[in-house]
Structure 1
Amino acid sequence: MNVNHSGIRRSIRRGRGPRGPLLPPEVPRWKSRSESFDQAVIDAYSPLDQRWSRELSHLDIAIDTIPRMQLSPGMYLPEEIVADGAVPLGRLIPAGIDRAGNPTRPCVVVFRRPIERRVGDRRELDLLLRHVLTLLVAVYLGIEPLDVDSDFDEDFL
């Protein structure tokens, strides 16, 4: 048993100190890994959206934990899929018709886990997300990635 400065006794089990998060979820600085990733995607997409807002007004952005497709090494990939080897990092899904016959909007899907596994810190995450989103927006707009982002590095992946 320990006694804190206010005289209240509390138990510290097995010498590990207080348990639980240091910041409660209500505090603005507290974010889960997926919420931090979501914010990184928004931050990476924001400059593209500002520059091409009219052209991208009908494009949705989505984040999926893992890709629901399997690629084989050396497999031909359509330009709508951005991959690192056989691992998809993002995909452009064109507008179409769903199973109920309703029209769907085009959507860029970013895959969280494969991207997180390829980066070491927030800076690398920002660079990779910027690369993936630039490629997919360029495909959607039908223009070259350098026209979308003048700082685009074709040799990044």
Structure 2
Amino acid sequence: MEHRRRTRDRHDRGMRGPAVQARPGARLPRGSRREQFDALVLRIVTDIDARWSRRLGLVEYAVEDAPLIPDDWTDTVPLSSLVRGSGTTPTRLVLFRRPIEHRCEGRAELEAMVLTLVVEQVAELLDLPAHEVDPRYGPADDD
């Protein structure tokens, strides 16, 4: 019986998995898209919450893949949700990752979109103009 060197997998697709290496000098992604998005949200939320936590009180920040919307929904898909707390229930600010990513073409646009959404929701909670919540928002962006 002759042993031949296998260059293809059993489905004849070529080499897969850890044996395949990236080009020298190529940037490897750090974590999944979900992990990268979560890290971005955490960075922005931490900065804003540190600045306003006394006035905000208890706020839960969350990221979900997509909102649950009814089949007969005709509006655009929401990018975030803000549910005010009552009594012992904390206020909950949720960002929806997939609709946000779908509207952004690159990393810079994604960062700007997440910052805008968080700042606008926190501004609504504090009843302040958005540019006062975070100077990166810019007064020209206010309604």
Give the counterpart of 1:94 among 84, 90, 100.
84
Q: Distance in 2 between matches of 1:55 and 1:95?
A: 14
Q: Distance in 2 between matches of 1:21 and 1:126?
A: 34
Q: Which runs of 4+ in 1 moved over 4 A?
A: 20-23, 153-156
Residue type of the partner of 2:8? I
Residue type of the partner of 1:89? L
Please name the residue that 2:103 is paired with.
118
Q: Note closer, same or farther for the CA distance 1:113–1:151 as it changes in structure 2 (3 Å cut).
A: same
Q: How many residues align?
A: 127
Q: Distance in 2 between matches of 1:152 and 1:60?
A: 22
Greater shift, 29-38 or 116-125, is seen at 29-38
Please name the residue that 2:56 is paired with.
56
Alpha-carbon RMSD:
2.8
TM-superposed CA distance for 1:32, in Å, is 2.0
Q: Note closer, same or farther for the CA distance 1:116–1:66 as it changes in structure 2 (3 Å cut).
A: same
Residue type of the partner of 2:36? S
Give the counterpart of 1:131 among 111, 116, 130.
116
Higher relative helix content: 2
Q: Note closer, same or farther for the CA distance 1:66–1:21 as it changes in structure 2 (3 Å cut).
A: farther
Q: Distance in 2 between matches of 1:63 and 1:112?
A: 7
Q: Secondary structure at the match of 2:55?
A: coil
- 1:7-86 matches, within 5 Å, as 11-13=7-9, 14=12, 16-19=14-17, 30-69=30-69, 72-73=74-75, 86=76
Residue type of the partner of 1:93? V
Contact 2:65–2:97 (Cα < 8 Å) also in 1: yes
Deviations 1:39-69 (A, max 9, x none): 1111222221222132234111011111124
The alignment's TM-score, normalised by the length of structure 1, stands at 0.67
Unmatched runs of 5 consecutive residues or more in structure 1: 3-9, 24-28, 74-85, 98-102
Q: Distance in 1 between matches of 2:141 and 2:132?
A: 16
Residue type of the partner of 1:12? R
Q: Distance in 2 between matches of 1:106 and 1:21?
A: 48
Contact 2:7–2:14 (Cα < 8 Å) also in 1: no
Q: Note closer, same or farther for the CA distance 1:17–1:155 as it changes in structure 2 (3 Å cut).
A: same
